[in-house]
Homo-oligomer: A and B are copies of this chain.
Amino acid sequence: MNKRLMARQETAERLLEAARIRISGNGLTGLRARDVTADAGCALGMLYKCYSDLDTLIDRVNMGTLVMLLSNLRQAVAGTTDPVDQLKVLAKTYLAFAVEHRNLWSSVFEHRQKDQRPIPQDYVDANQRLLGVIGEAMGKLKPDIVGDELDARVRTYFGAVHGVVTLGLQERFVSVPTHRLEQELDVLVDQLTR
């Protein structure tokens, strides 16, 4: 057993968790390197020993959020086999996730890569898997739609649900109570699954 390696990983973990909690509480804009290291109980420099920079740390947090959502969605569809029910439950799970982890979830969409750094492959893969979950249900519902067309339809379905959820949670527009949002999401999914 190597104490050094363990200590390092443990610190990296604490930093990740501290960043997650910060973002979850104050959103991405309020995030400062000093706060994260202070919360994690270590010196400022450690952030740069454990991660190449602050943006990379944020990417890790966002990746964790995507994985958590994916896991929730998979668990949600596992209970049913009827594709319409599956699509409905996926939409509701998505809404519930966005409500519960509002700031973590917006962070995934707000965070921009600096310079022209490419989007991490992890991200792209996770998105692919996310759409894949929808795609399975959609494929069962509309067996005649396949390939690129199915992909596009899945993205449209996701986009529609995502838009309703996002606008609903944004306080910029007159805010809607969550239960009404659920109702509206039901109507939306009903129409989209016809």
Contact = CB atoms under 8 A, between A and B. Distances in A.
A132 interface: no
B29 A184 contact: no
B183 A152 contact: yes
A88 to B, nearest CB: 15
How many copies are assembled?
2
A35 to B, nearest CB: 18
Interface residues of A, number: 34
A184 B160 CA distance: 11
A145 to B, nearest CB: 10
Contacts of A102: none
Interface of A: 29, 112, 119, 123-124, 127, 152-153, 155-156, 158-168, 172-174, 176, 180, 183-185, 187-188, 191-192, 194
